Amino acid sequence: MFFIIGIFIAIFLSLLLLVKAKKTRADKILFIWLILISVLQIFRYFYVSGYFFDHPNWLGIELVLPVLHGVLLYLYVIEITGNTIKKKGNVFLHFVPSIILLVLTIPFFQLTNEQKILVYQNNGEGFEWFVFIEGLIVVISGLAYSIWSLIVINKHQKNIEDIFSNTEKKKLQWLKTLSIGNGVIFILALFFETNVTYTAIAFLVLFIGFFGINQLNIFYSNKDALETLDREQLIENKKVNSNKISKKSVPKEKYAKSGLTKEGVSEIYAALKDVMDKKAYYKNPELTLVELAKILNVHPNYLSQVINEIENKNFHNYINGLRIKEFIKLASIEENKKYTIISIAYDCGFNTKSTFNKYFKLQTGKTPTDFFNS
């Protein structure tokens, strides 16, 4: 029964992606992954219900498909995190294990229908070598790609703090959980019967559906609800053309290596302090390193270097530190006592209560309530 639920949810989510306007490459990969899950669940239901034995021509088709789970998860993760594989040859390499398995299934497909049924009914008798190799490749591949996906996500989480001032909606925690869940499925495959694994896959589909609906941009085109990653900011941070501060402060020979002299660092930092003191750009909750670099007319890498060297912080921590200082200043004014703590925090540039509380305690060692009561 649970197979049927998983099938319908996977097909439903696939249709949502199919009709979605302005589909990204990540959307297309997720669509293929959901179709794969649907097909596997349908084939499993056919096997359990005995339909396969009435129509043996279908037997064996599902043998190659499970190895694609991990591959599609990984390709989806790298698209979401802005690390698109540009060379088609590199993408092809990820499908080599499935091609190997496809070649190994040729002897099975050469059997008569009666022989195929006997192989299935006798737990792979005569093809024990294939069952072993297939199980090994599927489990190793699934676990490897789940771990690889987690590494990419963790790297992404560190990178976004160098670019975005507010990262709460860009950390992709749901995608990390999805990667862990995918890995758990392949661990279950090592110790439990196939039905348990397919039940776990159905739960994975439920997870994708639940969190996908909450992450509105996955299944619907809604620019205002974009909660994963501002891809354009990341790309621009990598590609934006360099602008000199002055010929003295940034020597030509060092410029190609993104090198700055002490004069250059001091000049950029002075300009940064000036715009922050006078214009308070940190109050913009969507402020990014790229935007601030444009305001200062410097390369984002230079600005990031200056903040790291002088403030000993990344861009994210630096901006949120300024927001906390501004919050303490505003909250200490008597006439502002009529406003709630969180409303003042929002005025200072925070866009979530959890981020505000985290950085307030990080900077002061106390909660906002304890701080003002002490």
Same domain assignment for residues 268 and 335: yes
pLDDT of residue 55: 86
Least confident segment among 26-30, 48-52, 169-173, 281-285: 169-173
Rounded Cα distance between 226 and 313, Å, is 27
Rounded Cα distance between 229 and 215, Å, is 11
For 164, phi then psi, to 5°, come to -110, 145
Rounded Cα distance between 194 and 175, Å, is 25
Same domain assignment for residues 115 and 6: yes
| Residues 172-187: tens digit of each pLDDT | 778 888 899 999 999 9
pLDDT at residue 359 tops 70: yes
Same domain assignment for residues 66 and 125: yes
Tell me the CATH number at 326.
1.10.10.60
Number of separate domains in the chain: 2
DSSP H or E stretch at residue 92: helix 88-93
Structural domain that includes position 83: 2-225
Same domain assignment for residues 23 and 56: yes
| Residues 299-330: tens digit of each pLDDT | 888 898 899 889 998 898 999 999 999 999 99
Burial class (CB in 10 A: 0-12, 13-18, 19+), 354: exposed
Work out the pLDDT band at 164, boundaries 50, 70, 90.
confident
Same domain assignment for residues 256 and 127: no
Same domain assignment for residues 18 and 90: yes
Same domain assignment for residues 57 and 197: yes
CB 235 within 8 A of CB 163: no
Bridge partners of residue 356, in order along the sequence: none
Greater confidence (314 vs 239) lies with: 314
206, 225, 244: which is the final residue of a domain? 225
Same domain assignment for residues 213 and 279: no
Structure tokens at 107: 């002897």
Cα angle 281, 286, 288 (rounded to 5 degrees) comes to 75
State the average pLDDT for the chain.
Answer: 82
197, 225, 253: which is the final residue of a domain? 225
- Whether the full predicted model's pTM is greater than 0.85, yes or no, is no
For 123, phi then psi, to 5°, come to 55, 45
Same domain assignment for residues 127 and 220: yes
225, 250, 270: which is the final residue of a domain? 225
Same domain assignment for residues 210 and 296: no
Same domain assignment for residues 126 and 189: yes
Same domain assignment for residues 118 and 150: yes
pLDDT of residue 2: 66
